[in-house]
Amino acid sequence: MDRKRNSNVGNRFVIALIAAVCFVGCKNEVEKPETENTELAVVEKPVEPEEFGFKLNDYIVKRDTVRKGDTFGIILDRNHVEYPKIFQIAEKAKDTFDIRKLQLGKPYTLLCAKDSLETPQVFIYQPNKEDYVVINFKDSIHAFKSSKPITYVEKIITGVINSSISETLDEQGVSAVLTNMLADNIYAWTIDFRRLQKGDRFKVIYTDKYIDDSIYTGVHDVKAAYFEHNHEPFYAFQFETDSVKGIIDYFNEEAKNLRRAFLKSPIEFGRISSRYNLNRRIAYYGYKVRPHKGTDFAAAVGTPIRATANGTVTESTRRGGNGKFVKIRHNATFETQYLHMSKRLVKVGQFVKQGDVIGLVGMTGNTGGPHVCYRFWVNGRQVDPFKQKLPEAKPISDSLKTKYLDFIKPIKYKLDNTFFEPEIDEQPEQTVITQANS
């Protein structure tokens, strides 16, 4: 009897123990999720592509370029828009954009409805990489002009000359445009870049320009530079001397202007094909003496022609053998003229700054090939510009000198504390300095 009672007690104890173990086990299973990391993976929603202010996923997007014979009407007609609607669109948009000015080869985009005809609802035209025109006729008709966001990235680069500066920059993947800016615009009158010495070295702070953060459009400008030529230092700092006219010059560390009043050439890339020569003989005219009172710079049709100095346009027309030309008065003494243009880009009375593009190289008038004939007047007489003692550019005013010296202090410090000869694979140091809609 006692053994049976003890056995029952023992069984009850075992059952209770098993129940307790099961209870704890179940409790642990229930509480387990609270002790484990239960964070859910965050799934990022894909970013919808957007351009020109439109969500592209809402449309069928068609991209093309203006072809030979294309007009605004032909393009829309080709895409199932009827002519009464085309006329209505053109009338509404004419105050914003003249549809007759579509240029061959320029890109355009059609945003079309997702219907069976893929009916166009928006026409977007890009006259250049930055600007665009939107003609929206989805519901009501309206048009506007805008620009893509522009980013300017400041960079600093150094180098040591072995053969030429262009080769040194090319080895570091930097645009040859920077070479031209240094040689023709900044140091043109202080350093002869054709006679650089091995071991000459430089540091340049410049800005690159990007559209939409991705489209590289080249070197925008040079903020400052240091060039060591034949062991002699040459500093250059960019500074605006006239905010009303937007005149910018380069000065050294002592506020002396580095430039002359005139650029050496009206085009950035080109060669002298014919010099000023009063005794020139031409086979076409039977080797008779035909004085050439200009300097010809050969370049491809469409190459930008720059004003060589600040001044006011006195003529912008087409006449005889000169073809299309522009003439500029710089002061009471000096005038310049630019002949054979394919297109004139300035009007009479317009003030232009040194380096402004005033026209494009062409072959209008009497010419055997594309070039600009550059003519130079001193006191009303045509002379050879390369034999003139040209004046220096306007010095910095006394009122601005203190401001200038304070302005360049941090920039000079940055140049002076930048070391030469970066590692082979090292890219130029860069900083995003400006982000804006142009």
Question: Tens digit of pLDDT for each residue in 277-287?
Answer: 877 766 656 67
Helices (H), 1-150: 2-35, 72-78, 83-93
Tell me which CATH code domain 271-387 carries: 2.70.70.10
Listed in order, the ranges of the chain carrying CATH 3.10.450.350 are: 54-147, 161-209+220-259+396-430
CA-wise closest residue to 206 among 221, 194, 228: 221
pTM equals 0.64
pLDDT at 171: 85
The mean pLDDT value of the chain amounts to 84
pLDDT at 177: 86
For 161-209+220-259+396-430, the fitting CATH number among 3.10.450.350, 3.90.1150.10, 3.20.20.70, 3.40.1280.10 is 3.10.450.350
Percent of the chain residues topping a pLDDT of 70: 83
Q: Which residue has the higher pLDDT, 11 or 85?
A: 85
pLDDT at 21: 44
CATH 3.10.450.350 fits 54-147, yes or no: yes
What are 171's two structure tokens?
């080895």
Strand partners, 335: 329, 377
pLDDT at 212: 82
What pLDDT, in 10s, does the model give residues 102-137?
A: 999 999 999 999 998 899 999 999 999 899 999 999
What DSSP character marks residue 240?
E
Judge whether residue 399 has pLDDT over 90: no
What pLDDT, in 10s, does the model give residues 298-342?
A: 999 999 999 998 899 999 999 998 999 999 999 989 999 999 999
- pLDDT average, residue stretch 362-375: 92
Q: Which residue has the higher pLDDT, 185 or 437?
A: 185
Judge whether residue 46 has pLDDT over 80: no
CB 205 within 8 A of CB 181: no
Judge whether residue 424 has pLDDT over 50: no
